Amino acid sequence: MLRKICIIFVLVLSTLTFGRSQEESKPLVIPSEYQHAKEMLDHLYNEGLNIQEIHNSKYTAFFNTNPNNSMYIKTDMGIFELVHLERKNGKEIDIVVQEATDNGEYKYVVSENGVDRLLILGAENYFNKSDEYITIARNKDLNDKIKQALKAQ
């Protein structure tokens, strides 16, 4: 009886392990409307960000990008936004924390070419910026992972 239980346990354990290995090696599928950012998305995925979903982001208008150039990305660590700057003008954009209010709002000043815009968010967010991309993460651990991936690029 004990031997049957051990055999069943080994079979279940090996099935779970094998199933997990297949899941981890699954390639990233990027919807056609986001192919312009394929290289960056592939890089983030290969650096360990388990990208589960990609959708349009609310930051399209704020950063004046073309449709689909601002992406809402769901990962196993949380959600972040990826803004693709077609004009590669990331060096012209500054993002500074202005203040956190008593009612839980976080204010950020986004400056571009001498024009300041106020971004008010309901939670603390973390920003990374390059010439071509801005990332906006909603939790510090996810931001640290993104930052590490961007350094490896």
Distance separating alpha carbons of residues 136 and 51, to the nearest angstrom: 15
Q: Is residue 24 part of a domain?
A: no
Describe the crossing of helices 140-151 and 38-46 by its angle, rounded to 10 degrees.
Answer: 110
Local structure of residue 25 (DSSP, 8 states): T
Q: Is residue 10 part of a domain?
A: no
Burial of 37 (0-12, 13-18, 19+ CB in 10 A): buried
Closest Cα partner for 72 from 51, 42, 43, 94?
51
Q: Which residue has the tokens 């510090």?
A: 140
Closest Cα partner for 100 from 122, 84, 67?
122
Q: Is residue 147 part of a domain?
A: yes
Q: Is residue 72 part of a domain?
A: yes
- Beta carbons of 8 and 114 less than 8 angstroms apart: no
Give residue 82's domain range.
Answer: 29-151
Structural domain count, the chain: 1
Token reading at 3: 């031997």
Which amino acid appears at position 91 of this protein? Answer: K
Question: What pLDDT sits at residue 48?
Answer: 94
123: three-class secondary structure by DSSP: coil
Concatenating the DSSP letter of every residue in 49-92 gives --EEEEEE-THHHHTTPPTTSEEEEEETTEEEEEEE-TT--GGG
Q: Is residue 12 part of a domain?
A: no
- Beta carbons of 43 and 19 less than 8 angstroms apart: no
Per-residue pLDDT tens listing for the chain (153 residues): 555 554 555 545 555 545 444 445 678 999 999 999 999 999 999 999 999 999 999 999 999 899 899 999 999 999 999 999 999 999 999 999 987 888 889 999 999 989 999 999 999 999 999 999 999 999 999 999 999 999 988
